Chains A and B, each alone.
Chain A
Amino acid sequence: MNIIKEHIFPNNHLGIDKIESIVSESSGSSIDLSDLYIQYTTVESWSCEDGIVKNGSQHIDSGYGIRAISNEKTGFSYGNNFDFDEIIKAAKLSKSIVKSNISQSLNLKEYTDFKKLYISESPLTSVSDNSKVDFLKEMNRYIKNKDKRVQQVIINLSASHDSVFVANSLGTYSFDDRPLVRFNVMVILKSGDRVERGSAGGGGRYSYVNLLETKRPFELADEAIRIADVNLSSKPCKAGNTTVVLGSGWPGVLLHEAVGHGLEGDFNRKKTSNFSDLIGQSVASELCTVIDDGTISDRRGSLSIDDEGTPTAKNTLIENGVLKGYMQDLMNAKLMNVKPTGNGRRESYAHLPMPRMTNTYMLGGSSNAEEIIDSVKDGIYAVNFSGGQVDITSGQFVFTASEAYKIESGKIKNSIKGMTLIGNGPDVLKKVSMVADDMKLDDGVGTCGKEGQSVPVGVGQPTLKIDDITVGGTEV
């Protein structure tokens, strides 16, 4: 059910005629594009700590944002009072960025011809609050019984339902309903003097039922315990340059940081990215083909339409090492004279859209994971990362591993702690020397931050080998 269509419009006497007046008011002779975005979001979170399901919260946020674009200028205003006169005032304020007195009179048509990639119903009501609490209790019992060294368990179950409406001066409007579910486990194990943490999580755009009525939460709990256990015997890491093998799945976060951000249209229009003006040129080893795909059903990073009403797409960013294209929103596509790619995203009605990633991954290659490990005489096998960051101008990126091992003579040895990878995006991609055939997407926990805005994303990659990269650690 779209709450905007069913409640906000009728309760505030907003018909499509009124919406047309608002978008018309914000458009005009020197305005290239204006749009109205309305959102109603409900988020809930339940958690179990110290063996007690003790935290529960629900947050409702609703409002509208109205934007007017003239060439490279943007005027933006938002509010949460849906009174027609208030929205008209906001439209005038947004348009005041340029002197343009002639308003257009627009007729809007509903755009529905896009593929629905997920259910419309709210996941929050897909199971009862009692069952959510019982589920957390059961998971807590399972983890406590599984390992005697468990010192702390934090389990979190959360979901959101986002009803959105977007209308723009190009003449269309659309509705979308976006469910999102997430489950996370964090355990701390204690053995002797040492304590270490392990976390795992998963989720996607579906109902709670898709998660709660499967074995998945138990597998994720096992995974969290496994990671903490591995880290209990980890040894300090030696600093310096070495060969690094990245595991499949979540380590794709490196691709997201090292390459993805640099391929966002805004940075390339402004030529502040170190991938600017490189379309058609070789930016990576021939083994690398990188895709951004917002069209995968039920995935955390997917959207049926982006936040500007453009259907998402499967976009090839790098093909066999050659840069093919950037990710675009409407404004940057127009300014760069290319087609929008369905990557216009915003955190909420109170934020401006910009080009953002959806699900970004590298396609599999022809090697297999064992032969990649076999080929390394002395190096590191990094399986999980806790976070990363990139400077898109210099290309410099940094990642911290949460699970990594030493490789000696083709064999995986002891686990190592406190390992940081540092490198330069394009440099590192050119050093990819082997790519396995085991491409895997992550479990559905990624959140990407850019200019203070957070959006859910997906990452993925096959096992791959980087020949020479700088590793940080405490040993010399």
Chain B
Amino acid sequence: MPKSFKDTTDNLRNILDDLDKKREYEFHFNSATGADITSRFGDVENIQYHNDESLTVTCIDGKRKGVASTNNLSSESIKLTIEKSQSIASFLESDKYQGLASNNLINQLDIDCGIYFPKEFTTEQLIDLTIECEKTALNYDKRINNSEGSEYGYSQSNNLLLNSHGAAGSYSSTSYTLSCVVIAEEKGLKERDYAYTTRRNFERTDNAKSIGELSAKKVISRLGAKSVSTRKCPIILTPELSVGLFSSFLSAINGNNIYKKNSFLSNYLNKKVFANHINIFEKPNIEEGLGTKPFDGEGVVTYEKPIIESGVLSTFMLDTYSANHLNSKSTGNSGYTNIIIESSNTLNNDIVSSINDGILVTEMMGSGANILTGDYSRGAFGYLIEKGKITHPITNFTIASNMIDMFSNIIELGSDYYENSKVKCGSVLIDNMTVGGN
């Protein structure tokens, strides 16, 4: 743990100890340092150095909750922030469900959870990586004639949570990300695509050449896209897009959407949501996991649990407030950690060859996933599959269904697990989607 973080921790613990005992408080402190470096056409374009910190104070006065935050950690500013949280609470109305987390609280500072891999760099080293990455992409094919560059970003973050009920937890983490965005042109039509890698540990990031090459392959394969006729057919979502679909599911079982009846899954606890072969778990303690967290946003210890068992929803994801509303207990889900999607119908070979006619969707656009009704309607880019083979790229179409139907129409998953997200899953094959085109 960096020394300045230790000093801040000691200081905030002392301040919390000295505060009045008739109200309750939660302190959440975050700090991060890092840099982003972009190169374009073989030369460095941007260097940005980051240095952020912020303190959020929550005050519970009776059953009233006030929140105030500041990015200035001077004693005077911390004092004013605490006073503001008290003042806001005093104006609000009483809400019987309000309260700080009080069960299963973290009580360990400087936790080593396997996500902190600090590394010293020179700026030149990172510039060289971005140049190598972009160069590989630009040299891949003559049709790649423009670039938005390659970017390397790293950050070291520290996270501290304290509350009046005795929660005290902190940990540090690192992340390293390399990306490349290139543009290809054919017959006057331009396409863009990208590739990236993000890891906790610098040593585990995909190498610069492979990211450059992947971005190049992706953009070239988009050239010459045709339109597609309106139809109902099976679609395959790439692992990256599957993450988005499962994220909508996670949002729909978030306790705050459940108690407000703001979710199409409000009445689905212990009922079937997915096809039988689907199992979903939360695993908070994976070494180097992008979602790994020893405690949640309120200081409740996170724990491993099934979410979907043989297609059936076994739990909502609750924080203290939504748990109080639902007469239940926090599941350590003020936020979520690593989510693993598994299926007994997992294909190890190419998922495309498992269907006759359909569409491989590689990009979706727009915000058409409605958590209230489950209605799903989004713009897409992809590839037409005929007789188990990809024939050509297709553009300017939409895919639509309802998420309830989509979840139960999942036929199989690929084993091509996506490593760049805290939601870990492979490609998903979904039957009977409506494709809107010409």
Contact = CB atoms under 8 A, between A and B. Distances in A.
Interface centre among A195, A237, A420, A472 (most CB of B within 10 A): A472
B92 A387 contact: no
A79 interface: yes
B91 A133 contact: yes
A188 B81 CA distance: 35
Interface string B34-65: 00000010011111111111100000000011
Main secondary structure of the interface of A (DSSP, over half): strand
B377 A474 contact: yes
A102 interface: no
Interface in B194-209: none
Contact of A152 (B51, B261, B397, B436): B261
Interface of A: 49-50, 52-63, 72-80, 90, 93, 96-97, 129-130, 132-133, 137, 151-152, 188, 195-197, 237, 239-241, 270-272, 274, 350, 352, 386-391, 393-394, 396-400, 417-420, 422-424, 470-476
Nearest to A69: B46
B95 A76 contact: no
B230 interface: yes
A418 B400 contact: yes
B306 interface: no
Interface string B80-117: 01001001110111110010000000000000000000
A424 B192 contact: no
B230 A76 contact: no
B357 interface: no
A327 to B, nearest CB: 18
Interface stretch (B136-144, B285-293, B330-338, B360-368): B360-368
A408 B7 CA distance: 70
A60 B262 CA distance: 31
B72 A80 contact: yes
A33 to B, nearest CB: 14
Given A239-B230, A400-B367, A422-B379, A274 B190 contact: yes
Nearest to A402: B370
Contact of B44 (A63, A73, A196, A422): A73
28 contacts: A49-B260, A54-B64, A54-B93, A57-B69, A58-B88, A60-B68, A60-B71, A60-B72, A61-B71, A76-B46, A93-B49, A97-B47, A130-B91, A195-B372, A195-B373, A239-B437, A270-B146, A387-B366, A394-B189, A398-B378, A398-B398, A400-B367, A419-B377, A422-B365, A470-B396, A470-B436, A471-B398, A473-B400
A474 B403 CA distance: 12
Contact of B48 (A80, A188, A352): A352
A452 to B, nearest CB: 10
A72 B71 CA distance: 32
Given A352-B46, A390-B365, 9 more contacts: A53-B92, A62-B72, A76-B49, A270-B40, A387-B367, A400-B368, A420-B398, A422-B379, A422-B398
Contacts of B89: 56
Contact of B375 (A57, A61, A417, A424): A417
Given A56-B88, A470-B438, A391 B376 contact: no
B365 A474 contact: no
Given A54-B98, A470-B398, A133 B92 contact: yes
Most buried by B among A58, A78, A151, A419: A58
A241 B262 CA distance: 32
Nearest to A240: B230
Contacts of A423: 396
B368 A418 contact: yes
B58 to A, nearest CB: 9
Contact of A195 (B88, B261, B377): B261
B355 interface: no
A472 B377 CA distance: 6
A196 B372 CA distance: 7
Contacts of A422: 365-366, 379, 396-398, 436
A398 B379 contact: yes
B381 interface: yes
B295 to A, nearest CB: 22
Contacts of A58: 67-69, 84, 88
A230 to B, nearest CB: 14
B48 A472 contact: no
A60 to B, nearest CB: 5
Nearest to A76: B48
Interface string B399-438: 1111000000000000000000000000000000011111
B386 interface: no
Interface of B: 40, 43-54, 64-72, 77, 81, 84, 87-89, 91-95, 98, 123, 146, 148, 183, 189-192, 230-232, 260-262, 365-368, 370, 372-373, 375-379, 381, 395-402, 434-438
Nearest to A68: B47
A90 B51 CA distance: 11
Contact of B66 (A49, A56, A74): A56
A187 to B, nearest CB: 11
Nearest to B67: A57
A454 B414 CA distance: 36
Contacts of B368: 398, 400, 418, 420, 472
A288 B25 CA distance: 56
A422 B400 CA distance: 13
Contact of A239 (B71, B262, B367, B398): B398
A239 B88 contact: no
Contacts of B50: 78, 350
A418 B370 contact: yes
A80 B183 contact: no
A423 B81 CA distance: 48
Contacts of B435: 239
B31 to A, nearest CB: 11
A97 B39 CA distance: 12
Nearest to B88: A56
B381 to A, nearest CB: 7
A292 B396 CA distance: 28
Contacts of B84: 58
Contacts of A350: 50, 52
Contacts of B381: 396
Given A58-B68, A73-B44, A195-B373, A473 B49 contact: no
A474 B146 CA distance: 37
A281 to B, nearest CB: 13
Contacts of A76: 46-49
Q: Which 10 A-B pairs have the closest CB atoms?
A: A472-B398, A239-B436, A398-B379, A398-B366, A57-B67, A393-B192, A387-B367, A398-B365, A56-B88, A418-B375
Contacts of A396: 365, 379, 381, 395-396
Nearest to B38: A74
B434 A129 contact: no
